[in-house]
Amino acid sequence: MKASRIAAAGAVSGIAVLALSAPAFAHVSVQPEGAAAKGGYAVVDFKVPNERDNASTTKLEVNFPTDHPLASVMPQPVPGWKAEVTKAKPAKPLESHGKQITEVVTKVTWTADGKGVEPGYFQKFPVSIGALPEDADQLVFKAIQTYSNKEVVRWIEVPQEGQDEPDTPAPVLKLSAAEEDAHGASGSSDAKAEDTGADAQNTAADTSSSDSGSGDGSDTTARVLGIVGIVVGAAGVGYGVLAGRRRDSGAAA
């Protein structure tokens, strides 16, 4: 009985933990595919889970930051969804790679052509963005999720460091340190290639040395086996001669 009560209490506790932790992972979020380095370009995925068991997600609106506007935003086609990019003039003059930027992306809206994100599923919406700001550690994207029953959930609360996560947090993209080359650090790649080539040469040299050592070992082994063979052969001959003499002596008697 005691064991049963303990098991039941454990099950209830587990359910309670799951219930409390569900909102922490069941919201619209954004994650980079690889690195999102300051000053560079990145592909990010807006992940949209369906939190309802009686309706599908049919629309997603993602508002892009106005304090750090992005000049280049290109959504990847998603089967069953139509993407619409909204642009506007920047509030202040913006320059990128020596060129004046006359308009920036303020919002991307995805609308389902079919069933949308059904209950029990999630959908990723990939977007190529850049150039990422060099003077910020993160970007906040406020999102609005619409269900087939007309329910609207606004993921617009900005999480604050040192405080509990809000009920409807906005997607936040963390930016990593700037790379040597904003488009992929090709210089680093060349250095790595040179290191790889040097390692390959060293490995080849080590292998050659090992092969030479193995050859010396094989020669020594062959010599030892040859000597052993000679000794065994001589012993066999001696035994044969001795056995013959004994037979001759027996016959004479």
> Which residues fall within 8 angstroms of residue 66, CB to CB, at 6 or more apart?
91, 106
Q: Establish whether the linkage from the previous residue to 131 is cis, with ω within 30° of 0.
A: yes
Cα dihedral sign, 187-192-195-200: negative
Predicted TM-score (pTM) of this structure: 0.62
Percent of the chain with pLDDT over 70: 60
How far apart CA 118 and CA 51 sit, in angstroms, is 9
- What pLDDT, in 10s, does the model give residues 103-125? 899 999 999 999 999 999 999 99
- What pLDDT, in 10s, does the model give residues 49-101? 999 999 999 999 999 998 899 989 999 999 999 999 999 988 777 776 677 88
Query: 87-91: which pairs have CB atoms within 8 A and are 24 or more residues apart?
Result: 91/66
How far apart CA 199 and CA 238 sit, in angstroms, is 58
How far apart CA 18 and CA 20 sit, in angstroms, is 5
How far apart CA 253 and CA 250 sit, in angstroms, is 5
- What pLDDT, in 10s, does the model give residues 8-31? 555 444 444 433 334 445 799 999
- What pLDDT, in 10s, does the model give residues 151-208? 999 999 998 888 898 999 999 999 999 876 544 433 333 444 444 444 544 544 444 4
Task: Yes or no: say if 36 and 175 are a contact pair by the CB < 8 Å rule.
Answer: yes
- What is residue 140's predicted lDDT score, i.e. its pLDDT? 97
How far apart CA 242 and CA 217 sit, in angstroms, is 38
